[in-house]
């Protein structure tokens, strides 16, 4: 859904480093917080190259904490959001939306499997705590690069005990989706938040297990791909345009800045409104959306401009525009 939520003035009341690359921020709106449930996020107004934009962050903790708590990873190829957030200090003013939940936890379920990768732990953390409080049966698989880069790793281990399984990539760990899903009862749900590779493995494993699609819940903010973000060229022959997309810019923003009209709504690779036809491609398409099916992605004839990219080279596209 297009983010039209009203923004409220707020203050950063605490800043704390969780790991060398992950920092938590506590934010207190002037009018107090609104209630929220696990999986909720807020929009934060950021300023990038002097222009306002919005970024979405999952809420940690619970309303009783009396503030909104988020965690932000410093991204090496940030489009500007994480740099803005990392520049915030205690006492700084900012603007945030009311909480919204597009990743709600089912109440009263018989079994839950939570899977997090890296900073994807943020919504899963709130879910794990809520399920632990409710004494619901669940497991959390948490994939991290190294033990020193596992935000909340120690706190989760203390609270969850053997319900937490930390999978450390540096130590050769890899989440085996088939094995993870096997013990889950038929009516159990899995919740996934992590990088694109992890999500795709989960989607493929879930389908292979013959489980219904709606019981695999996931959230992606469309900010990770199979390849590092690089600049590339997009050509629009119908409009006679050739546009450079910077590494820290989305194709949709580059098209928009160049005056090429493309519809969009969610801007996180879910709704498919910004989907354009691929006429030709030099370089590898890096699909970062969850709108196109695996088959459609393999065909390589469509691209969701809000999140997806080309890894080096160029792409020739057709928008909905048909010259008179």
Partner 1 sequence: MSETRSYPLNAWYAAAWDTDIGKTLLARTICDTAVVLYRRRDGSVAALEDACWHRQAPLSMGRLDGDNVVCGYHGLVFNGDGRCVRMPSQETLNPSACVRSFPVVERHRHIWLWMGDPALADPSRVPDLHWNDDPAWAGDGRTIHAKCNYRLVVDNLMDLTHETFVHGSSLGNDAIAEAAFESTHNERYAYITRWMKNIDPPPFWASQLGKPGKVDRWQIIRFEPPGTVTIDVGVAPVGTGAPEGDRGAGVNGFVLNTMTPETESTTHYFWNFCRGYRLGEQRLTNEIRDAITRVFGEDELMFAAQQKGIERNPHRGFNNLNIDAGSLWARRLIQQMVEAERPRSRLAAE
Q: Contact positions toward partner 1, by CB under 8 A?
A: 1, 13, 28-29, 31-35, 37-38, 63-67, 102-108, 130, 133-134, 212-215, 217-220, 266, 270-272, 290-293, 295-296
Cα–Cα dist 174/178, whole Å: 12
Q: In terms of CB distance, is 250 or 275 closer to partner 1?
A: 275
Say if residues 60 and 25 touch (Cβ distance below 8 Å): no
Say if residues 242 and 259 touch (Cβ distance below 8 Å): no
Cα–Cα dist 215/224, whole Å: 23
Cα–Cα dist 238/318, whole Å: 7
Q: Taking the complex as a whole, how short is the minimal distance between the CB of residue 135 and partner 1, in angstroms?
A: 11
CA angle 112, 224, 198 (to 5 degrees): 35
Q: In terms of CB distance, is 7 or 105 closer to partner 1?
A: 105
Q: Taking the complex as a whole, how short is the minimal distance between the CB of residue 146 and partner 1, in angstroms?
A: 29
In angstroms, the Cα distances linking 129 to 25, 71, 121, 211 are 19, 16, 12, 26
Q: In terms of CB distance, is 99 or 153 closer to partner 1?
A: 99
Angular region, 125: left φ>0, alpha ψ -120 to 50, beta rest: alpha
Please say whether the dihedral angle defined by the alpha carbons of residues 20, 177, 108 and 269, taken in this order, is positive or negative. Answer: positive
Q: Taking the complex as a whole, how short is the minimal distance between the CB of residue 108 and partner 1, in angstroms?
A: 6
Q: In terms of CB distance, is 139 or 217 closer to partner 1?
A: 217
Q: In terms of CB distance, is 248 or 296 closer to partner 1?
A: 296
Cα–Cα dist 124/220, whole Å: 12
Q: Taking the complex as a whole, how short is the minimal distance between the CB of residue 16 and partner 1, in angstroms?
A: 15
Beta pairing partners, 95: 9
Among the listed residues 84, 117, 88, 82, the one whose alpha carbon sits nearest the alpha carbon of residue 25: 88
In the block, which residue shows the tokens 């006492």? Answer: 91
Q: Taking the complex as a whole, how short is the minimal distance between the CB of residue 66 and partner 1, in angstroms?
A: 3
Q: Taking the complex as a whole, how short is the minimal distance between the CB of residue 65 and partner 1, in angstroms?
A: 7
Q: In terms of CB distance, is 149 or 286 closer to partner 1?
A: 286
Q: Taking the complex as a whole, how short is the minimal distance between the CB of residue 218 and partner 1, in angstroms?
A: 5
Q: In terms of CB distance, is 149 or 270 closer to partner 1?
A: 270
Residue 321 in tokens: 């525009």
Pairing of strands 164-168, 138-144: parallel
Q: In terms of CB distance, is 37 or 230 closer to partner 1?
A: 37
In the block, which residue shows the tokens 């009862």? Answer: 185
Q: Taking the complex as a whole, how short is the minimal distance between the CB of residue 111 and partner 1, in angstroms?
A: 14
Say if residues 43 and 97 touch (Cβ distance below 8 Å): yes
């Amino acid at each position: 859904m297009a983010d039209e939520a009203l923004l409220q003035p707020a203050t950063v009341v605490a800043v704390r480093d969780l790991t060398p690359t992950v920092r938590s921020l506590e934010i207190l709106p002037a009018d107090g917080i609104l209630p929220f449930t696990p999986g909720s996020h807020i929009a934060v107004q950021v300023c990038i190259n002097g222009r306002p934009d919005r970024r979405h962050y999952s809420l940690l903790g619970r309303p009783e904490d009396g503030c909104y708590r988020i965690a932000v990873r410093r991204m090496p190829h940030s489009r500007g959001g994480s740099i803005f957030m990392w520049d915030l200090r205690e006492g700084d003013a900012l603007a945030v939306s009311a909480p919204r939940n597009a990743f709600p936890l089912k109440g009263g379920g018989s079994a839950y499997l939570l899977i997090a990768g890296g900073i994807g732990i943020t919504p899963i953390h709130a879910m794990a705590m809520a399920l632990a409080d409710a004494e619901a049966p669940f497991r959390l698989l948490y994939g991290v690069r190294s033990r020193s880069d596992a935000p909340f790793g120690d706190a989760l281990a203390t609270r969850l005990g053997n319900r937490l399984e930390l999978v450390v990539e540096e130590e050769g760990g890899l989440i085996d989706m088939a094995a993870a899903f096997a013990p889950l009862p038929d009516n159990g749900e899995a919740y996934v938040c992590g990088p694109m590779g992890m999500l795709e493995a989960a989607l493929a494993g879930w389908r292979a297990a013959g489980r219904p699609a709606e019981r695999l819940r996931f959230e992606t903010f469309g900010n990770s791909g199979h390849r590092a973000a690089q600049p590339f060229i997009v050509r629009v022959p119908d409009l006679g345009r050739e546009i450079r997309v910077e590494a820290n810019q989305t194709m949709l923003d580059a098209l928009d800045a160049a005056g090429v009209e493309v519809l969009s709504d969610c801007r996180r690779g879910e709704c498919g409104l910004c989907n354009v036809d691929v006429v030709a491609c030099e370089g590898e398409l890096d699909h970062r959306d969850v709108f196109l099916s695996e088959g459609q992605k393999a065909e390589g004839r469509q691209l969701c401009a809000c999140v997806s990219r080309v890894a080096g080279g160029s792409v020739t596209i057709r928008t909905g525009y048909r010259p008179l």
